[in-house]
Structure 1
Amino acid sequence: MDWDDVRHFLALARSGSIRAAGASLGVSHSTVARRVDGLEARLAARLFDRSRDGYTLTEAGLQMLASAERIEHEMAALERGLVGQDERLCGEVALTCCDNYLADVLLRELTRFCRAYPEVELSFTVDSRPFDLSKREADVAIRALSRGAQPPEHLIGIKLAPVTIASYVATVHAERLAPELDGTEPRWISFDDRKMQEVLIADSSYPHVPAWGAFSTFELVVRAACEGLGLVMLPTYVGDREPALRRLARPDLRHMADLWLLSHPDLRDNARFRATRACIADAMRRHAGLFTGEGWCTDAPGRPEIASDGPARPS
């Protein structure tokens, strides 16, 4: 049985849609259909029921699913074992982090790293969803975990930096939105999770200021604040680097979470992954003030500088 056929079968079984399966595999929907049709023909068994609502596994398909997932697990372990022994500083490194502001900090460092190691090819994704490192959806992941939380036991985790939030207002709208002044009508711009926002507001220096709106990303929240739609609570590595924002008189710095560097233990000794992890960890240490909030300078609202002395060497 062709492993590629099994991969296409699994993608379709999990998504129930030819197009979604193709997107997850990076191939056309016609390729998925052809692979699955060919697999059914070779097995002389119908694995899916087709309908206008999508693809549903038959009894035979359900039986195959368990075996296919075992094969997938074994193939992933085999690949990790081989890749994990690679001592060459060359090849692809798939990195993911959770937002564009963090990516911007890292990319400055990683640019120098890639120049020092030109045979290392970086694949960088910004996405907050969980990546399955066992299946090598990413080789290195940077994720925010709640304060005190630990990464999954099957992964190697290095705590990089705290996620410290502070309260901000757009400088040009500060007088109109000042929560300390009488006659103003401030409001907090809210993320999608209004319940969490209300907990933070109640614990802030301005509990009387109501929440407003629902914005899904840091970029949208920052843009809304710059347009004068309200006050915002942001991680300091976001708010302190936005020239149009300034901290409120009582910014309420709070350590809410931690950024972790995650990887699979089977890839611990791979030279290029080890070097990448070292570069990222070194960069975060040297820019610690940006994440603790101690890098703020009231005399220079242009915000903390991001500088580098060069790429970290693998240890």
Structure 2
Amino acid sequence: MDWDDVRHFLALARARSVRAAGAALGVSHSTVARRVEALEARLGVKLFDRHRDGYLLTDAGHEMVAGAERVEREMATLERGVAGQDARLEGAIRVTCTDPFIAKILVRSLASLCERHPGIELELSADAKYLDLSKREADVALRALALGASPPEHLIGRRLVPIVLCSYVGKAHAGRLDPDRGGGPTRWLGSNLDKVMQELVGSSSHPDVPLWGTFESMAVMIEAAHAGLGLIMVPTYAGDPDPELERLAKPDLRHVGDFWLLGHRDLRDNARLRAAREVITRGLLERLPLFRGEGDGWSENATLRTEVAPSARRARS
């Protein structure tokens, strides 16, 4: 049985759409369909029923999933074992992080490594999607973990910098919106984590200010603050460098989590990944004051609290 056929079968079983499976594998939807049809012909059994709503596993397909996933794990282990011995400073480095603000820092940190070693090819994913390090969907991950949390045992990790929330307002709207500067009616801008936001607002200096709207990404929330739609709470690494944002008079700096740099144990000795972890570590630690929120106003109007609401802890773990 061809492993590539099995890989295409698993992708389709998970996505239920040839287009989505193709996107996940980086191939065309016709390639997925052709591979799966070839596998069905070779096995002499139908693995999927084709419906208007997508591809649904047959009983035989369901039985095959568990075995295919075991093969997938074994192939991933084999691949990591070989890659872990690679002493070359060339090849792909797949890095994943939480958001574009962190990605900007990582790109600047990794640029010198790529310049020194032109054979390195950088692949960077900048969103909250969980990429599996065991399957080598990514090689190096910078992930946000709740206070006191630790990474899974199969990963190597180092806690690097804190995640400190701060309250901001669009600079052009501070006089109108900041409650402590004589502002009129105001509101907090909400996210899709409604319960977390409610608890954060409830423990802020302005617990009676209502929540309004839903802004799913930090970048969109910041744009809404620029436009004067309301007050926001975002990490200092995103808020402090923004010239169009200003801290509230009572900024409520709160240590809510930490960034950890993670990799798989099997890839500990891979030369290019080790070099990438080193430059990322150095780049973030050089910016420690930014992550701690030690910018303008730190000494006179900010006190750092270590705090995270119960539901926020669950959401980040």
TM-score normalised to structure 2 length: 0.91
Matching residue's letter, 1:297: D
DSSP-derived class of the 1:214 partner: coil
1:55 corresponding residue in structure 2:
55
DSSP-derived class of the 1:208 partner: coil
2:296 corresponding residue in structure 1:
297
Equivalents in 1 of 2:127, 2:205: separation in Å?
A: 32
Q: Does the 8 Å contact 2:99/2:128 carry over to 1?
A: yes
DSSP-derived class of the 2:167 partner: strand
2:108 corresponding residue in structure 1:
108
DSSP-derived class of the 2:214 partner: strand
Q: Which moved more, 1:161-170 or 1:181-190?
A: 181-190
| Deviation (angstroms), 1:244 | 0.7
Equivalents in 2 of 1:13, 1:164: separation in Å?
A: 40
Equivalents in 1 of 2:106, 2:64: separation in Å?
A: 42
Q: Which moved more, 1:206-215 or 1:54-63?
A: 54-63
Equivalents in 1 of 2:50, 2:255: separation in Å?
A: 51
Q: Does the 8 Å contact 2:180/2:250 carry over to 1?
A: no
Equivalents in 2 of 1:264, 1:151: separation in Å?
A: 11
Q: Which runs of 5+ in 1 are unaligned?
A: 300-315
2:216 corresponding residue in structure 1:
216
CA deviation string 1:135-188 (max 9, x = no partner) = 000000111111111111221111111000111111111111121255611111
Equivalents in 2 of 1:293, 1:38: separation in Å?
A: 57
Equivalents in 2 of 1:83, 1:220: separation in Å?
A: 38
CA deviation string 1:1-25 (max 9, x = no partner) = 1111011111111121111111111
1:260 corresponding residue in structure 2:
260
1:165 corresponding residue in structure 2:
165
Matching residue's letter, 2:256: M
| Deviation (angstroms), 1:298 | 5.0
Aligned in 2, Cα 1:219/1:183: closer, same or farther, shift over 3 Å? Answer: closer
2:193 corresponding residue in structure 1:
193
Q: Does the 8 Å contact 2:177/2:185 carry over to 1?
A: yes
CA deviation string 1:179-216 (max 9, x = no partner) = 12556111111111121111111111111211111101
| Deviation (angstroms), 1:102 | 0.7
| Deviation (angstroms), 1:121 | 0.9
2:129 corresponding residue in structure 1:
129
Equivalents in 1 of 2:26, 2:190: separation in Å?
A: 35
Equivalents in 1 of 2:24, 2:106: separation in Å?
A: 26
2:152 corresponding residue in structure 1:
152
Equivalents in 2 of 1:218, 1:285: separation in Å?
A: 23
DSSP-derived class of the 1:144 partner: strand
1:82 corresponding residue in structure 2:
82
2:270 corresponding residue in structure 1:
270
Q: Does the 8 Å contact 2:160/2:281 carry over to 1?
A: yes
2:315 corresponding residue in structure 1:
none
Matching residue's letter, 2:258: D
Equivalents in 2 of 1:177, 1:53: separation in Å?
A: 48
Matching residue's letter, 2:296: C
Aligned in 2, Cα 1:56/1:177: closer, same or farther, shift over 3 Å? Answer: same
| Deviation (angstroms), 1:245 | 0.8
| Deviation (angstroms), 1:231 | 1.0
CA-based RMSD of the aligned residues comes to 1.3
| Deviation (angstroms), 1:46 | 1.2
DSSP-derived class of the 1:56 partner: strand
Q: Does the 8 Å contact 2:177/2:183 carry over to 1?
A: no
Equivalents in 2 of 1:24, 1:236: separation in Å?
A: 33
| Deviation (angstroms), 1:59 | 2.2
TM-score normalised to structure 1 length: 0.92
2:45 paired with 1:40:
no
Q: Which moved more, 1:24-33 or 1:180-189?
A: 180-189
Q: Does the 8 Å contact 2:140/2:273 carry over to 1?
A: yes
| Deviation (angstroms), 1:297 | 2.5
DSSP-derived class of the 1:11 partner: helix
1:120 corresponding residue in structure 2:
120
